[in-house]
Chains A and B, each alone.
Chain A
Amino acid sequence: MQLNLIGLACAAATFFGVWLGHVSVRKIERDVERIWIPSALALVLGAGLEIAAFRTSNLALSAVCGILGVTLLWDALEFYRQQNRVREGHAPANPHNPRHARIMATHSKATTIDWLDRDPRGIPYSNEELRQSKELPA
Protein backbone atom coordinates (compact mmCIF):
# COMPACT_ATOMS: atom_id res chain seq x y z
CA MET A 1 0.00 0.00 0.00
CA GLN A 2 1.26 3.39 -1.02
CA LEU A 3 1.31 5.91 1.87
CA ASN A 4 0.27 9.50 1.08
CA LEU A 5 2.59 11.90 2.88
CA ILE A 6 0.73 15.07 1.85
CA GLY A 7 -1.44 14.97 4.98
CA LEU A 8 1.66 14.64 7.15
CA ALA A 9 3.29 17.62 5.42
CA CYS A 10 0.10 19.68 5.90
CA ALA A 11 -0.11 18.69 9.56
CA ALA A 12 3.49 19.75 10.19
CA ALA A 13 2.98 23.06 8.34
CA THR A 14 -0.23 23.79 10.26
CA PHE A 15 1.11 22.90 13.71
CA PHE A 16 4.51 24.58 13.39
CA GLY A 17 3.05 27.55 11.48
CA VAL A 18 0.53 28.21 14.26
CA TRP A 19 3.03 27.54 17.06
CA LEU A 20 5.76 29.71 15.60
CA GLY A 21 3.27 32.46 14.75
CA HIS A 22 1.75 32.34 18.24
CA VAL A 23 5.13 32.63 19.97
CA SER A 24 6.84 35.09 17.64
CA VAL A 25 3.90 37.53 17.28
CA ARG A 26 3.79 37.85 21.08
CA LYS A 27 7.54 38.31 21.37
CA ILE A 28 7.90 40.75 18.46
CA GLU A 29 4.85 42.83 19.47
CA ARG A 30 6.36 43.06 22.96
CA ASP A 31 9.81 44.18 21.81
CA VAL A 32 9.25 46.24 18.65
CA GLU A 33 8.05 49.84 18.85
CA ARG A 34 6.66 50.22 15.31
CA ILE A 35 4.67 47.05 14.68
CA TRP A 36 3.67 48.08 11.18
CA ILE A 37 7.16 46.95 10.08
CA PRO A 38 6.90 43.27 11.18
CA SER A 39 3.26 43.29 10.12
CA ALA A 40 4.16 44.47 6.60
CA LEU A 41 6.97 41.89 6.45
CA ALA A 42 4.55 39.11 7.37
CA LEU A 43 2.15 40.39 4.71
CA VAL A 44 4.82 40.36 1.98
CA LEU A 45 6.23 36.99 3.05
CA GLY A 46 2.75 35.48 3.29
CA ALA A 47 1.77 36.77 -0.16
CA GLY A 48 5.10 35.47 -1.55
CA LEU A 49 4.39 32.00 -0.15
CA GLU A 50 0.92 32.02 -1.74
CA ILE A 51 2.47 32.89 -5.11
CA ALA A 52 4.96 30.05 -4.58
CA ALA A 53 2.01 27.74 -3.81
CA PHE A 54 0.53 28.58 -7.23
CA ARG A 55 3.78 28.17 -9.12
CA THR A 56 5.20 24.90 -7.80
CA SER A 57 4.12 21.67 -9.44
CA ASN A 58 4.96 19.59 -6.35
CA LEU A 59 1.61 19.13 -4.57
CA ALA A 60 3.04 18.64 -1.06
CA LEU A 61 5.26 21.70 -1.40
CA SER A 62 2.35 23.69 -2.82
CA ALA A 63 0.16 22.77 0.17
CA VAL A 64 2.91 23.60 2.68
CA CYS A 65 3.45 27.02 1.03
CA GLY A 66 -0.30 27.64 0.96
CA ILE A 67 -0.70 26.84 4.67
CA LEU A 68 2.39 28.73 5.87
CA GLY A 69 1.34 31.64 3.65
CA VAL A 70 -2.12 32.04 5.20
CA THR A 71 -0.74 31.68 8.72
CA LEU A 72 1.74 34.50 7.96
CA LEU A 73 -1.04 36.65 6.48
CA TRP A 74 -3.02 36.03 9.66
CA ASP A 75 0.05 36.93 11.76
CA ALA A 76 0.18 40.33 10.01
CA LEU A 77 -3.26 41.02 11.52
CA GLU A 78 -2.40 39.32 14.79
CA PHE A 79 0.25 41.96 15.65
CA TYR A 80 -2.61 44.46 16.01
CA ARG A 81 -4.86 42.02 17.83
CA GLN A 82 -2.03 41.42 20.29
CA GLN A 83 -1.63 45.18 20.79
CA ASN A 84 -5.34 45.31 21.63
CA ARG A 85 -4.84 42.56 24.20
CA VAL A 86 -2.11 44.67 25.80
CA ARG A 87 -4.51 47.66 25.87
CA GLU A 88 -7.17 45.48 27.50
CA GLY A 89 -4.69 44.14 30.05
CA HIS A 90 -5.16 40.59 28.73
CA ALA A 91 -1.49 40.39 27.67
CA PRO A 92 1.35 41.86 29.73
CA ALA A 93 2.76 45.22 28.68
CA ASN A 94 6.50 45.79 28.41
CA PRO A 95 7.33 49.14 30.05
CA HIS A 96 10.71 49.22 28.22
CA ASN A 97 8.90 49.40 24.88
CA PRO A 98 7.98 53.10 24.32
CA ARG A 99 4.75 52.11 22.50
CA HIS A 100 3.70 49.94 25.45
CA ALA A 101 4.72 52.70 27.89
CA ARG A 102 2.32 55.02 26.04
CA ILE A 103 -0.42 52.38 26.17
CA MET A 104 0.11 52.02 29.93
CA ALA A 105 -0.19 55.80 30.34
CA THR A 106 -3.44 56.03 28.38
CA HIS A 107 -5.22 52.71 29.05
CA SER A 108 -6.17 52.08 32.66
CA LYS A 109 -6.62 48.32 32.10
CA ALA A 110 -3.06 47.84 30.72
CA THR A 111 -0.79 46.00 33.13
CA THR A 112 2.55 44.19 33.33
CA ILE A 113 0.85 41.19 34.98
CA ASP A 114 0.67 38.01 32.92
CA TRP A 115 -2.76 36.85 34.02
CA LEU A 116 -2.49 33.53 32.23
CA ASP A 117 0.66 32.49 34.08
CA ARG A 118 -1.22 30.32 36.59
CA ASP A 119 -3.07 27.00 36.78
CA PRO A 120 -6.84 26.63 36.42
CA ARG A 121 -8.47 26.30 39.85
CA GLY A 122 -12.05 25.44 38.86
CA ILE A 123 -13.80 28.49 40.35
CA PRO A 124 -14.05 32.02 38.96
CA TYR A 125 -12.10 34.87 40.52
CA SER A 126 -14.09 37.49 42.42
CA ASN A 127 -13.65 41.18 41.64
CA GLU A 128 -11.95 41.57 45.02
CA GLU A 129 -9.40 38.85 44.18
CA LEU A 130 -8.72 40.39 40.77
CA ARG A 131 -8.25 43.81 42.33
CA GLN A 132 -5.85 42.41 44.93
CA SER A 133 -3.72 40.49 42.44
CA LYS A 134 -3.46 43.65 40.34
CA GLU A 135 -2.01 45.53 43.29
CA LEU A 136 0.40 42.80 44.35
CA PRO A 137 3.28 41.96 42.01
CA ALA A 138 2.50 38.70 40.24
Chain B
Amino acid sequence: MSWFGFSIGIATLFTIGLGFVWVIRGERYFGYLWWPYVLGAGILCVIGSVFFSNNWVSALLGAFGASLVWGSTELKEQAIRGELGWYPFRARKIRPPFADRIKRWRAPSL
Protein backbone atom coordinates (compact mmCIF):
# COMPACT_ATOMS: atom_id res chain seq x y z
CA MET B 1 0.00 0.00 0.00
CA SER B 2 1.49 3.30 -1.13
CA TRP B 3 0.11 6.81 -0.76
CA PHE B 4 2.42 8.14 -3.47
CA GLY B 5 0.10 7.93 -6.50
CA PHE B 6 -2.98 9.12 -4.64
CA SER B 7 -1.15 12.11 -3.16
CA ILE B 8 0.35 13.02 -6.53
CA GLY B 9 -3.15 12.71 -8.03
CA ILE B 10 -4.64 15.12 -5.50
CA ALA B 11 -1.73 17.55 -5.93
CA THR B 12 -2.19 17.37 -9.71
CA LEU B 13 -5.90 18.16 -9.30
CA PHE B 14 -4.97 21.37 -7.46
CA THR B 15 -2.29 22.17 -10.04
CA ILE B 16 -4.90 21.89 -12.80
CA GLY B 17 -7.32 23.94 -10.67
CA LEU B 18 -4.64 26.61 -10.42
CA GLY B 19 -4.55 26.47 -14.24
CA PHE B 20 -8.15 27.74 -14.37
CA VAL B 21 -7.07 30.78 -12.34
CA TRP B 22 -3.88 31.72 -14.15
CA VAL B 23 -5.35 31.19 -17.63
CA ILE B 24 -8.23 33.60 -16.80
CA ARG B 25 -6.09 36.19 -14.99
CA GLY B 26 -3.11 35.81 -17.29
CA GLU B 27 -5.18 36.30 -20.41
CA ARG B 28 -6.94 39.34 -18.92
CA TYR B 29 -3.75 41.23 -18.09
CA PHE B 30 -1.21 39.80 -20.55
CA GLY B 31 -3.25 38.50 -23.51
CA TYR B 32 -3.21 35.18 -25.34
CA LEU B 33 -0.12 36.05 -27.42
CA TRP B 34 2.05 34.84 -24.55
CA TRP B 35 1.14 31.27 -25.45
CA PRO B 36 4.54 30.28 -27.02
CA TYR B 37 6.34 31.39 -23.84
CA VAL B 38 3.95 29.46 -21.60
CA LEU B 39 4.28 26.41 -23.86
CA GLY B 40 8.08 26.70 -23.72
CA ALA B 41 8.11 27.09 -19.94
CA GLY B 42 5.90 23.98 -19.63
CA ILE B 43 8.19 21.91 -21.86
CA LEU B 44 11.24 23.11 -19.86
CA CYS B 45 9.56 22.01 -16.60
CA VAL B 46 8.81 18.57 -18.05
CA ILE B 47 12.38 18.16 -19.33
CA GLY B 48 13.76 19.50 -16.04
CA SER B 49 11.73 16.97 -14.04
CA VAL B 50 13.92 14.07 -15.20
CA PHE B 51 16.99 15.60 -13.49
CA PHE B 52 15.51 15.48 -9.98
CA SER B 53 16.22 12.26 -8.12
CA ASN B 54 13.54 13.08 -5.52
CA ASN B 55 10.40 11.35 -6.81
CA TRP B 56 8.00 13.91 -5.32
CA VAL B 57 9.80 16.85 -6.90
CA SER B 58 10.12 15.07 -10.25
CA ALA B 59 6.44 14.04 -10.30
CA LEU B 60 5.07 17.45 -9.27
CA LEU B 61 7.34 19.35 -11.66
CA GLY B 62 6.27 17.06 -14.52
CA ALA B 63 2.57 17.49 -13.74
CA PHE B 64 3.00 21.26 -13.32
CA GLY B 65 4.83 21.47 -16.67
CA ALA B 66 2.06 19.52 -18.39
CA SER B 67 -0.56 21.88 -16.92
CA LEU B 68 1.40 24.85 -18.33
CA VAL B 69 1.45 23.16 -21.76
CA TRP B 70 -2.30 22.57 -21.53
CA GLY B 71 -2.95 26.13 -20.32
CA SER B 72 -1.01 27.54 -23.30
CA THR B 73 -3.58 25.88 -25.58
CA GLU B 74 -6.47 27.41 -23.58
CA LEU B 75 -5.34 31.04 -23.80
CA LYS B 76 -6.79 31.68 -27.26
CA GLU B 77 -10.27 30.46 -26.30
CA GLN B 78 -10.08 32.47 -23.08
CA ALA B 79 -9.33 35.60 -25.12
CA ILE B 80 -12.52 34.97 -27.12
CA ARG B 81 -14.54 34.38 -23.92
CA GLY B 82 -13.38 37.79 -22.67
CA GLU B 83 -14.34 39.49 -25.95
CA LEU B 84 -17.77 37.82 -25.81
CA GLY B 85 -18.36 39.34 -22.37
CA TRP B 86 -18.30 36.02 -20.46
CA TYR B 87 -15.33 37.30 -18.43
CA PRO B 88 -14.19 40.84 -17.59
CA PHE B 89 -12.38 42.31 -20.58
CA ARG B 90 -9.30 44.47 -20.34
CA ALA B 91 -8.20 46.17 -23.55
CA ARG B 92 -4.72 47.21 -22.35
CA LYS B 93 -2.57 44.07 -22.31
CA ILE B 94 1.10 43.70 -21.42
CA ARG B 95 2.28 42.39 -24.77
CA PRO B 96 4.99 39.72 -25.06
CA PRO B 97 8.24 40.17 -27.00
CA PHE B 98 7.71 39.53 -30.74
CA ALA B 99 3.92 39.90 -30.34
CA ASP B 100 3.46 40.90 -33.99
CA ARG B 101 5.27 37.84 -35.24
CA ILE B 102 3.37 35.53 -32.84
CA LYS B 103 0.09 37.04 -34.05
CA ARG B 104 0.77 35.54 -37.50
CA TRP B 105 1.10 32.01 -36.04
CA ARG B 106 -1.92 29.86 -35.43
CA ALA B 107 -2.49 29.69 -31.67
CA PRO B 108 -3.02 26.10 -30.52
CA SER B 109 -6.47 25.10 -29.30
CA LEU B 110 -7.24 21.50 -28.43
Contacts and interface: CB of A to CB of B under 8 A. Distances in A.
Interface in B34-69: 46, 48-53, 55, 57-63, 65-67, 69
Nearest to B89: A124
B26 interface: no
B81 interface: yes
Interface in A24-72: 50, 52-57, 59, 61-67, 69-71
Classify the secondary structure of B's interface with A: helix
B33 to A, nearest CB: 9
Interface string B82-94: 1111100101000
Given A120-B80, A124-B89, A54 B3 contact: yes
A14 interface: yes
A103 interface: no
A124 B15 CA distance: 30
| Contact residues on B (Cβ < 8 Å of other chain), bracket | 35 or more
B24 to A, nearest CB: 14
| Contact residues on A (Cβ < 8 Å of other chain), bracket | 35 or more
A70 to B, nearest CB: 4
Residue with the greatest number of chain B CB neighbours at <10 A, chosen from A7, A8, A90, A120: A7
A7 B61 contact: yes
B77 A59 contact: no
Contacts of B110: 19, 22-23
Contact of B6 (A15, A23, A50, A74): A50
Interface of B: 1-10, 12-13, 15-16, 32, 46, 48-53, 55, 57-63, 65-67, 69-70, 76-77, 79-86, 89, 91, 110
